[in-house]
Amino acid sequence: MSRNLLLTLRFDGTAYHGWQWQSNAISVQQRITEAAQSVFCEPIKIHGCSRTDAGVHARMFCCNFHADKEIPVDKIPAALNAYLPRDISVYQAEERAQDFHARYSCIKKEYVYCICNTKYRDPFLENRAYFYRYPLAVHDLHDAAQAFVGTHDFSSFCSSGSSVEQKIRTISEFSVTRNGELVLFRVSADGFLYNMVRIMVGTLLDVAEKKFFARDIPNIITAKNREAAGITAPPQGLYLNKVFY
């Protein structure tokens, strides 16, 4: 019986059209699949824990696949990295039960959205944080974000391109903190809808700009209408930060 292998990796998503394999653009899944097939010398089908958008990054991303070739798990990351570009790196491999699935076995994910909150751009954060020059009152944004915590229908925070019918999700934590020039929006949930984090962050930025008030967020949630919410924040500030099994 083939082994079910779980890979943990990180990537800079700038050069990729998201995780999911695309017919007309390069994706992270394509690069991982090509590397795995080169190492294992057999057809490989990769299952990812999430579908990230074009330009979105991951500090921790998990995927699994079945393979027959017997390579020690501690040798697999280096073997794969030899075939991967420098903006993708596998740093752990382990064997899991046959029924394990990187997506469906996941119980929680944590995303972080990073804003460079300064008057002037930082070239070292280009494509890795959203540059936002206007002052942000972090404590006020943190308080406003607590309206998202709990179990809600997040239809107002899902882009129209989504085919998912069930839009109820449970957010367990949503914090907004500052670390020098960086403002970090950290959100954990049992699952996320298409562009959900980016729309929630965009809505909070609209609160900062007084286009909404914090007290409006519960009404935006209950509206179940994408047009009721704020902008979709750009992709380059978003990171899949942790995956929990």
Q: What is the largest CA-CA distance in the chain?
A: 59
Distance separating the N- and C-terminal Cα atoms of the chain: 24
Burial of 40 (0-12, 13-18, 19+ CB in 10 A): buried
What single DSSP character describes residue 52?
P
* Residue 53 is a catalytic residue: yes
Q: Give 223: exposed, middle or buried? Use CB within 10 Å, 0-12, 13-18, 19+.
A: middle
Nearest-Å Rg of the Cα atoms of the chain is 19
Among 53, 74, 153, 206, the one annotated catalytic: 53
Contact in structure between 114 and 184 (CB atoms under 8 Å): yes
Residues marked active site are found at: 53
